[in-house]
Amino acid sequence: MERAGLLKTILIYGLALAAGVFVLQWLEFQFMARTHSFEVYLFLLAVGFMGLGIWVGAKLFRRGPAPAEFEPNVKVQQTLGISERELQVLQLLAAG
């Protein structure tokens, strides 16, 4: 038997085996879906709500553009009587 014919035979048998495995897996899935239909529906409902939650979370908590450089309010600083050094200490505390 020549080499091309041998490769063709191997390919045909491989495809036939793959198709058989696919059919068996599909039948097993059908059996599982029928015997555990409640669990399948519950799983699909959970996946749907998880997707909805992710979508709503992304819409509600979307980050806006980064804030511009911080500009201190000098009038409030003068009203409170905070010195430059006190303001510097407060900034260092806020930075950690």
pLDDT in tens, 52-68: 999 999 888 888 787 77
What pLDDT shows up at residue 26?
Answer: 87
Residue predicted with more confidence, 80 or 52: 52
Question: Which tokens hold the place of 95?
Answer: 């930075």
Query: What is the pTM (predicted TM-score) of this model?
Result: 0.40
What pLDDT shows up at residue 55?
Answer: 92
DSSP letters along the chain, please? --HHHHHHHHHHHHHHHHHHHHHHHHHHHHHHHHHTHHHHHHHHHHHHHHHHHHHHHHHHT---PPP------HHHHHHHT--HHHHHHHHHHHH-
Domain of residue 35 covers 3-95
Torsion of CA 60, 66, 67, 68, to 10 degrees: -160
What pLDDT shows up at residue 3?
Answer: 80
pLDDT tens digit sequence for 12-55: 999 999 999 999 898 888 888 788 888 888 998 999 999 999 99
Give the total number of structural domains in the chain: 1
